[in-house]
Amino acid sequence: MPSLNLTSKFLEAVKPTPGRQVAYPDRVVRGLEMRVTPEGRKVWSLRYRTHLGKQRRVTLGVFPSVDLGDARDAAKKVVADVAGGGDPASDARRAKLAAKAEPIKTFDDLADAYLLACETGLWKPRRKQKRERTLADERGSLKRHIRPALGKFALEDITRADVRRFLEKMHASGIGAQTNKAHQVIRMCFAYAIGQGRVELNPATGFDQVALAGKRVRVLTDAELRTLWTTLINPTALRLPPKDGETKGVAVYVGRPMRIAAQLALLLLQRRGEIAGMHMSELDLDHATWLIPAERMKGGAPHMVPLPPMAVALIREALDLGLAAMTDDQRRAAPNDRPVFPSPRDPAKSVKPDSLTHVVVNLATALGVTDATPHDLRRTGSTLMTSERLGVSPFIRSKVLGHSTDTGGGAAVSSAHYDANTYAADKRKALAAWEGLLLEIVGEPAKASPDAAAPVQ
């Protein structure tokens, strides 16, 4: 295939070809390719010749974890190394052989080996390679919770009692569902170790989940919605309740961009990761649509979200704030496909989903709106959407939420293979109705729909 002027938008949209791997060469950096497997995995690689004339290929990472800019930077470094007589592919092979020869001694070693095996497809516990989103969640659980507690332990020294004690301590600190997630990750790591012949028993099995696995049912009241929305627009001096030994609680300050993200979470009813990771390339504000790519969706399929008028206005405000916060150098270097909610540390990357959770939880706690999370905002809107106040059908509500399992009473095979509808008009009506009800609840006038925001046909 001839070289292409690769763009982030193209890379996100490109689809796998059944039965074969397709390479898309980059025109900017010679030898750099995006290779799309039949399963849809998008891998960066660089082809080069050594000083002896041998052709080599080195892998640079997986898209979107390694974006276009990162891949080009990494490729240029490899090219410079090769020009100096290096051979990165051979170096990488030797490093892998050395790693295989090195015994796994501690849980940190095991976690590293497990993640590498999952990333490369060498370990498929359910005969299916793990998606990057799943691995990102597992890395987060390992980094935040598991490694600090168990990482330095020798594998032989970790007992069932140790694992259970760790999980009970984690749960006692107020961490609920993530305790069960940590339990699952530890169990999978040791299952991998058993498969490699490293250990014989899995210390994370043989006992029930520590945290209750009951479903959350929290739905905010009209009064709570009004209180939270008012604060998202105009926050006052807020403090968390004082802890033991404190005379007054910690002050809560949330910048306008993250308050906009929380407003959008309530208006659009999408998951926190989808909101936090919103990019310009996903948006068509002239036609009021947001197309979330498959790799960012829990169900692994692209999801089109029609944008009601206030959502369009809030996104435009967030984009303006993002530009205003950049230095002149950052603005000049900013990619066209920049995040709507950039990280304060790196404007080229999105804020983490956890940031949105902290915003909602801290503001709600300071306001006395107890036990409220971003997912509770999603559940609240979902519940009111199908209530007698709006009367949206549960099927269309599921389409709005991006659920892939609701077939509307039809056969699953029909929905998956014979129904290509996006139900855009129905979703637009549902989200417009929800926006109208929400603004009525919080006491704001409805925002007029711009002429350009025409429904998608």
Q: Give the three-class secondary structure for 270.
A: coil
Non-local (6+) Cβ contacts of 136 within 8 A are 65
Range with top average pLDDT, 349-358, 364-373, 383-392: 383-392
Q: Give the three-class secondary structure for 376.
A: helix
pLDDT (mean) for 317-321? 93
Query: Residue 350's closest CA among 255, 286, 261, 232?
Result: 261
pLDDT (mean) for 140-166? 93
CATH assignment of 222-442, among 1.10.3720.10, 1.10.20.140, 3.40.50.720, 1.10.443.10: 1.10.443.10
Q: Give the three-class secondary structure for 262.
A: helix
| pLDDT of 329 higher than 80 | no
Q: Which CATH class is domain 103-195?
A: mainly alpha
Q: What is the pLDDT of residue 413?
A: 43
Contact 68, 14 (CB under 8 A): no
Contact 372, 364 (CB under 8 A): yes
Greater model confidence, 9 or 298: 9
Q: Give the three-class secondary structure for 158.
A: coil
Non-local (6+) Cβ contacts of 403 within 8 A are 299
Q: What is the pLDDT of residue 101?
A: 57
Non-local (6+) Cβ contacts of 124 within 8 A are 130
Q: What is the pLDDT of residue 332?
A: 74
- Cis peptide upstream of residue 64 (ω within 30 degrees of 0): yes
Q: What is the pLDDT of residue 95?
A: 62
E strand intervals along 307-373? none
| pLDDT of 182 higher than 80 | yes
Contact 202, 191 (CB under 8 A): yes
Hey, what are 124's tokens?
A: 């498929």
CA–CA distance, 181 with 423 (Å, rounded to integer): 34
- How far is CA 295 from each of CA 2, 270, 273, 304, 354, rounded to the nearest angstrom? 26, 15, 11, 13, 19
- How far is CA 376 from each of CA 245, 379, 455, rounded to the nearest angstrom? 31, 5, 28
CA–CA distance, 365 with 362 (Å, rounded to integer): 5
CA–CA distance, 365 with 371 (Å, rounded to integer): 7
Q: What is the pLDDT of residue 456?
A: 40
CATH code of the domain occupying 8-97 = 3.30.160.390
Domain ranges of the chain: 8-97, 103-195, 222-442
- How far is CA 22 from each of CA 35, 38, 46, 424, rounded to the nearest angstrom? 6, 8, 14, 31
CA–CA distance, 125 with 113 (Å, rounded to integer): 14
- How far is CA 306 from each of CA 77, 280, 400, rounded to the nearest angstrom? 42, 15, 9
